[in-house]
C-alpha cells in the first residue's frame, strides 16, 4: 500500500486527466463527445475540493459499486483511496463485475489472489484529477498500476480500453469518479 501511495504521488505532477464517478443521487447521462464538455462545466474541478466525501465514501453511497468497494477493501486499498489523492477512478458498476466469467470475482477476493486484485484495481486509477472535458480520443493515461489506459471515441461513446464511460465527473473530496460499463484488465 505504501508503494501505491509513493507511486501515485510521483505521478501526480505528470497527470493531465482525472475522471470521477461516484456519489449518491442522480447521475449525469452517458458521456458522449458532445456532452463531455457540458458535464464538466457543471462539475468544475473546484467542486471536487468542496465535496465532503472521499472516493470510497462516494462510491459506497452511490449503491451501484458494492462489488468495487468490497474489492477495494479486500485489496487493502480503501485507506489509500480515502487519502488525499487526488485520484481519477474509472469505476466499474456491479453490473460490469457481473459480466466477468462465473467465479472470477470470488476468486479475486481470496487472500492468495490479493496481488492480482491490486493490479486490476490500480489499473482503474489515474493520479490527479481528470474531468470529462479533458478527455481527448487517442489519449493514453498512465495508471497507478503502471500500464496505460487508452481513451478513444467510438461514435457517440467515450471509451477507456474496451469499457464505455457511462457517467462522468462525479466529484469526491480527493478526486473524481467516472462510471464504466466493463472491468478493464491490465495487459
Query: Sign of dihedral through CA atoms 72, 76, 80, 82?
Result: positive
- At 46, is the pLDDT very low, low, confident or very high (cuts 50, 70, 90)? very low
Q: What is the mean pLDDT of residues 160-164?
A: 94
pLDDT of res. 51: 58
Q: What is the mean pLDDT of residues 25-38?
A: 35
The predicted-structure confidence for 70-86, as pLDDT tens digits, reads as follows 999 999 999 999 999 89
Given a cut of 90, whether residue 2 has pLDDT beyond it is no
CA 137 to chain centroid, in Å, comes to 18
* Averaged confidence pLDDT in the chain: 76
d(CA 40, CA 168): 8
Question: H-helix or E-strand containing 153?
Answer: strand 148-154
The predicted-structure confidence for 150-160, as pLDDT tens digits, reads as follows 998 888 888 99
List the strands of the sheet with 87-92, edge to edge: 125-127, 87-92, 175-180, 163-172, 157-160, 148-154, 140-142
Count of CB atoms situated within 10 Å of the CB of 57? 21
Cell of 56: 470510497
Given a cut of 70, whether residue 17 has pLDDT beyond it is no
In this structure, of 40-44, 59-63, 102-106, 164-168, the range with the lowest mean pLDDT score is: 40-44
The predicted-structure confidence for 129-143, as pLDDT tens digits, reads as follows 999 887 666 789 999
Q: What ranges do the domains of the chain cover?
A: 2-180
Find out if CATH 3.65.10.10 is the number for domain 2-180.
no
Dihedral angle, C-alpha 27, 181, 34, 17, nearest 10 °: 90
Q: What is the mean pLDDT of residues 149-171?
A: 91
- Please report, for residues 63, 76, 80, 122, 186, the alpha-carbon distance to residue 112 in angstroms, rounded to integers and kept in the order given: 28, 13, 21, 17, 19
Dihedral angle, C-alpha 145, 187, 140, 167, nearest 10 °: -80
Q: What is the mean pLDDT of residues 44-63?
A: 71
pLDDT of res. 136: 67
Amino acid at each position: 500500500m505504501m508503494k501505491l501511495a509513493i507511486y501515485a504521488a510521483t505521478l501526480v505532477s505528470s497527470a493531465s486527466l482525472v475522471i470521477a464517478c461516484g456519489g449518491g443521487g442522480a447521475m449525469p447521462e452517458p458521456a458522449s463527445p458532445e456532452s463531455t464538455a457540458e458535464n464538466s462545466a457543471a462539475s468544475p474541478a473546484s467542486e471536487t475540493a468542496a465535496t465532503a466525501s472521499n472516493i470510497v465514501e462516494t462510491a459506497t453511497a452511490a449503491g451501484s459499486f458494492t462489488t468495487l468497494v468490497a474489492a477495494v477493501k479486500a485489496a487493502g486499498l480503501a485507506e489509500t483511496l480515502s487519502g488525499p489523492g487526488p485520484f481519477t477512478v474509472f469505476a466499474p458498476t456491479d453490473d460490469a463485475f457481473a459480466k466477468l466469467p462465473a467465479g472470477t470475482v470470488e476468486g479475486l477476493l481470496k487472500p492468495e489472489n490479493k496481488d492480482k486484485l491490486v493490479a486490476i484495481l490500480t489499473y482503474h486509477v489515474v493520479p490527479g484529477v481528470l474531468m470529462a472535458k479533458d478527455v481527448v480520443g487517442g489519449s493514453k493515461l498512465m495508471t497507478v498500476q503502471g500500464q496505460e489506459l487508452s481513451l478513444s471515441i467510438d461514435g457517440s461513446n467515450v471509451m477507456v480500453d474496451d469499457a464505455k464511460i457511462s457517467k462522468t465527473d462525479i466529484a469526491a473530496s480527493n478526486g473524481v469518479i467516472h462510471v464504466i460499463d466493463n472491468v478493464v484488465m491490465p495487459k
